[in-house]
Structure 1
Amino acid sequence: MGKVPEGLKGMDVMRQTTWKGHTRYDFSVNEREGLVVVPANPAEGNPWIWRAAFFDAFAQADMAMLQRGWHLAYYEVSDMYGCPEAVRLMRSFQGHVESQFHLAKKTVLFGFSRGGFYSFNYAAEYPEQVSGLYLDAPALDIRSWPGGYGKAPRAEKEWQECLQNYGLTEETARDFKGNPLDKIDQVAEAGIPILVVYGDADKDAIFSENAEILIRRYRELGGEIKSIVKPGGEHHPHSLEDPAPIVEYLIANCNS
C-alpha cells in the first residue's frame, strides 16, 4: 500500500487503508477527522482536490481525478455549515496536509450541496489557497436552505444547527450578510475559476435562489465560470455519469 509519509510516522491517530484501490491515510486535525487518498501515479507538483462534504458520495469525478494523478482530501466539518470557525479549521487542515503530504499550495474544492457553503466561504477568505471550485447543486444562502425562506422546505434540524454555528437568531438571520452569495465579488476579484453542475428541477438547493445568482453575478464581474445543466435533474444524483467534462474543465483551468 506504499510508505507512510515521513512526517506522519508515529502519529497515534494514523490509519493506512485503501479506498477504491488507492492508498488512504486517516488522521485527525484539531480533533476532527481528515483523510488523504494518494493516487497510484501522482501528477507533477502533487495537485489535489478537496471534497468539502459527503466523502465517497457520487464520487465519479473524485475517482477520475485520482486516475489523472491528483490527490484527494476530506475534512469533517459538515455539521458547521461553512461558518467562520469551520473556515478557520479548514485552513489549519490545509496547512497540515500540504506539509505532511507535500501537496500543491492551492487546492480545488468540491462543494456538493451544503459543501457549497464551506467551499465558497473558504475561497473568499483564503483565495490564495484555492485554484478552483467545482460546485454541484450547491447551497449558497443559508436562508434558502436549510432556512426555507424561499421555495425550498425548511430543514428544521439543520436550520437550528446552522443558527447556532453562526450565532444567529430567527430574526437576525433575515438580514445576514455572511453567505457565499454576499462574497461573490471577493472570489471574482481573486480570479478563481468555477464550474457549476446543477439540475433545473432541484427542489432543495433551488437554482434561482443559489447557483443562478452566482453564475449571473460572476459573469457580470468578468469571472471565469462554466455551468452544466442537467435538464429535469433533481438534487440527487450529484455529479455526471460521465465525469469527463468536469475533469477536462478542472485540468484545463485549475492546475496551478
Structure 2
Amino acid sequence: MRITDWNGYERVKFELDGKEGFVVFPKLPAEGKPWVWRAEFFDYFDYADMALLKEGYCRAYYKQHDQYGCPDAVEGMLKFQSFVTRTFGLAEKAIIFGFSRGGLYAFNYAATYPEQVSLLYLDAPVLDIRSWPGGKGKGIGANRQWQECLTAYGITEEESLSAGISPLDRVKAVASAGIPILLIAGDADAIVPYAENGAILVSRYTELGGTIETIVKAGVGHHPHSLIMPEPIVEFVRRYGHGK
C-alpha cells in the first residue's frame, strides 16, 4: 500500500488481483464511514463526489477497464468491496455511481449482489450493450468497443440478442432488493440514447414499484455529465446512502 496526497486528501493506493485500486479519505469521516464508489471514470465530472468527500464520505475506485460490466468484472468488484470494507472499515454497503459505460458495472453488480449496495446514481448510463457499444439502435455505436464487449462476455453478436446480460434484462433483481436509483441523462444523447437506455429503466423500475428519481436535461447530449450544482445528487445520497 502507498499513501499519497490527492487534492489535499489522503489517498491509499494498492493492487488487488493485479489491478489498481484506491480509497480517498475525507478530513473527518461521516458516521459509519459511508463511501462513494465510481464504477468508471473516477474524477470525471465529479461535482457530487467532491461535495460528498467534503461532507465525510470516502471515495473509492477499482480499475477494471474494457470489461463492460461482464461477470468477471462483477466478481472483481465483489473482491474489491470485501477488501476495502475489511481493510479500511468502510460501510458494508456501497454507494455506486455509474457514469456512461460505468452503468454496466454499477447495475450488473447491484443485480448480482444487491445486498452489497445502498443506492445507485446512474448518469447517462449504458444499460443495453446492443445500444452501446453495439450501435444496434439509434446510437452511433463503437465497433472496437463492441468487439471488446462481446469478448468480455464470451458471446457472439447473434447471441447478444437473447443473452439476457444487459442491465435492462436484470431490472427485477434490483427493484426487488429495494435499491433506490437516481438517474440523470440528456434527452439528446446520440452516443447512449436515452430512449434505449434510461427511459426504459425508468418505465420498468416504476412498474416494479422501485424507487427511482430522474433528472432529464433537455437538449443535452452525452456530455456534459452530472450537475455543476450537485445538491440534488448530494441530497439523494444523504437520504438513501446509509443502508446497513
TM-score computed with the length of structure 1 as normaliser: 0.93
Q: Give secondary structure in 2 for the equivalent of 1:245.
A: helix
Q: Verify the 8 A CA contact 1:136 1:238 in the aligned structure 2.
A: yes
Query: What code does the residue aligned with 1:201 have?
Result: A
Counterpart of 1:148 (choices 116, 127, 135) is: 135
Consecutive unaligned residues in structure 2, runs of 5 or more: none
Rounded to whole Å, the distance in 1 between the matches of 2:114 and 2:134 is 27
Rounded to whole Å, the distance in 1 between the matches of 2:38 and 2:166 is 20
Deviation at 1:253, TM superposition (A): 1.7
**What does residue 168 of structure 1 align with?**
155
**What does residue 167 of structure 2 align with?**
180
Rounded to whole Å, the distance in 1 between the matches of 2:30 and 2:156 is 47
Matched-pair identity in %: 56
Deviation at 1:184, TM superposition (A): 0.5
Deviation at 1:208, TM superposition (A): 0.6
**What does residue 50 of structure 1 align with?**
37
Rounded to whole Å, the distance in 1 between the matches of 2:2 and 2:80 is 17
Rounded to whole Å, the distance in 2 between the matches of 1:249 and 1:41 is 21
CA deviations over 1:186-209 (Å, ceiling 9, x no partner): 100000000000011111111010
Aligned positions of 1:18-57 closer than 5 A: 18-57=5-44
Rounded to whole Å, the distance in 2 between the matches of 1:175 and 1:25 is 42
Rounded to whole Å, the distance in 2 between the matches of 1:219 and 1:72 is 29
Q: Verify the 8 A CA contact 1:193 1:254 in the aligned structure 2.
A: no
**What does residue 62 of structure 1 align with?**
49
Deviation at 1:247, TM superposition (A): 0.3
Query: What code does the residue aligned with 1:193 have?
Result: P
Rounded to whole Å, the distance in 2 between the matches of 1:197 and 1:154 is 21
CA deviations over 1:122-178 (Å, ceiling 9, x no partner): 001111100000000000000000000000112011001001000111221222211
**What does residue 100 of structure 1 align with?**
87
Query: What code does the residue aligned with 1:17 have?
Result: T
> RMSD of the alignment, in Å?
0.8
Query: What code does the residue aligned with 2:64 have?
Result: V
Consecutive unaligned residues in structure 1, runs of 5 or more: 1-13
**What does residue 79 of structure 1 align with?**
66
Rounded to whole Å, the distance in 1 between the matches of 2:191 and 2:5 is 33
**What does residue 8 of structure 1 align with?**
none
